[in-house]
Amino acid sequence: MPKFRDRTGRPGPATWEMGNYPEGQDDYPATGVSWYEAAAYAEYAGKSLPTVYHWHNAAGVGFASDIVPLSNFSGHGLSPVGSHQGMSPYGTYDMAGNAKEWCWNATDNMRLILGGAWNEPRYMFTAEDAQSPFGRSPTSGFRCVKYLPGTASPKAAMDAISITSRDYEKEKPVPDKVFAIFKNLYRYDPAPLDSALDPAEESTEFWKKQKVTFNAAYGNERMGAFLYLPKNAAPPYQTVVYFPSSNAIEQRSSRDIDLFGWDFVIKSGRALVYPIYKSTFERGDGLKSDSPEATTFYRDHVIEWSKDLGEQLTISRPGKTLTTKSSLITA
């Protein structure tokens, strides 16, 4: 308990001062608490920290594409509880974004903390995250559960969870002949792009944004890309081609594109290209996640993503031509 002090050395969350929360934050979530503090408070209140299974069920992670756009992943700070409209199926607010929430279950010497925070990517709503139970980040919060009278969680629901990840340092390269076969899967014949520039243009203090559409390298499909041109630089631009998080698979409209954490690229005087890859946004086709599944369906998508990224694009505008190949645009 001597470790759990506020900024002034008084007992309380790490974000508090003089044993009290900041003025004007009556309706904000309590953050800066360790797992131990959260668990102790829950017991004091006659409640519990939720297991990851109860949390996932209540949060409605299967409805992430509807909940996340209405939740606080703004990058600007905490918001009062319930001030965003991202409501989960059981009437709870802010399970996506705002403050992360400690859960009961351990994994190794850490504890699960779910939901993502205001300063994290949107996909953290559905991602597993584990932190030291002593961690007192300004984004670490919690919510309690109260089980129905006469019921109790099965012991298995309270047990530690094993989270495994693939260690690529231990992987052995395939023989050259096998690699050549894999590489050939990613080849394609260049064809006319038939590109078209959308006349609509969005403008902010820092950039101009336009959309171009063109033929994909497969399936007689059309795809699009958004081009962000910096206002504080002149061509030729150094350019970054963006590859989004798995959240783009869940969203159905590119109007929901979020440059969270990437606007610095444009502000630095570089151009940013944001392609609408296969299965993302309005190009959704049944792929549900970016988890490597043992199916040709997932493998084919990885190949198509590579072609979307590597295809040579020609984007024409009055008085200039922008050509991008791989990750470079020259003007």
- The pLDDT tens digits of the residues spanning 222-244 come to 999 999 999 999 998 988 899 98
Q: Name the helix (H) or strand (E) containing 329.
A: strand 328-330
CB 102 within 8 A of CB 142: yes
CB 145 within 8 A of CB 92: no
pTM, to two decimals: 0.72
Q: What is the pLDDT of residues 109-122, one digit of tens each?
A: 999 999 999 999 88
Check pLDDT > 60 for residue 326: no
Provide the sign of the torsion angle of the four alpha carbons 299, 301, 305, 307, taken in this order. Answer: positive
Residue 298 pLDDT grade (very low, low, confident, very high; cuts 50, 70, 90): confident
Nearest to 6 by CA among 138, 35, 19, 36: 19
Chain-centroid distance, C-alpha 281: 14
Percent of all residues in the chain with a pLDDT value above 70, rounded to a whole number: 92
- Is the preceding omega at residue 236 within 30 degrees of 0, hence cis? yes
Q: Name the helix (H) or strand (E) containing 296.
A: helix 296-310
Q: What is the pLDDT of residue 294?
A: 56
Note the CATH number of domain 35-158.
Answer: 3.90.1580.10
Check pLDDT > 80 for residue 275: yes
Q: What is the pLDDT of residue 293?
A: 62
The Cα–Cα gap between 87 and 90 comes to 8
Higher pLDDT, 202 or 16: 16
Q: What is the pLDDT of residue 287?
A: 84
Percent of all residues in the chain with a pLDDT value above 90, rounded to a whole number: 62
Q: What is the pLDDT of residue 311?
A: 67
Check pLDDT > 90 for residue 331: no
Q: Which two tokens stand for residue 140?
A: 């670490």
Nearest to 12 by CA among 31, 26, 28, 27: 31
Q: Which two tokens stand for residue 314?
A: 């020609």
Check pLDDT > 50 for residue 321: no
The Cα–Cα gap between 173 and 58 comes to 43
Over residues 291-316, mean pLDDT: 74
Task: Name, in order, each residue with C-beta under 8 angstroms of 94's C-beta and a sequence gap of 6 or more.
Answer: 29, 71, 72, 79, 81, 82, 84, 86, 115
Check pLDDT > 50 for residue 309: yes
Q: What is the pLDDT of residue 194?
A: 87
Question: For residue 212, what are the CA distances in angstroms to 171, 201, 244, 252, 329?
Answer: 40, 11, 18, 18, 14
Highest mean pLDDT among 116-120, 215-219, 247-251: 116-120
Q: What is the pLDDT of residue 260?
A: 72
The Cα–Cα gap between 174 and 248 comes to 31
Q: What is the pLDDT of residues 134-147, one digit of tens each?
A: 999 999 999 999 98
Report the chain's mean pLDDT, rounded to a whole number: 88
**CA 169, 171, 174: angle at the middle one, nearest 5?**
135
Over residues 256-284, mean pLDDT: 89
Check pLDDT > 70 for residue 323: no
Q: Name the helix (H) or strand (E) containing 263.
A: helix 263-267
Over residues 100-104, mean pLDDT: 98
Check pLDDT > 60 for residue 319: no
Q: Name the helix (H) or strand (E) containing 107.
A: strand 100-107
Q: What is the pLDDT of residue 322?
A: 46
The Cα–Cα gap between 253 and 248 comes to 9
CB 271 within 8 A of CB 239: yes
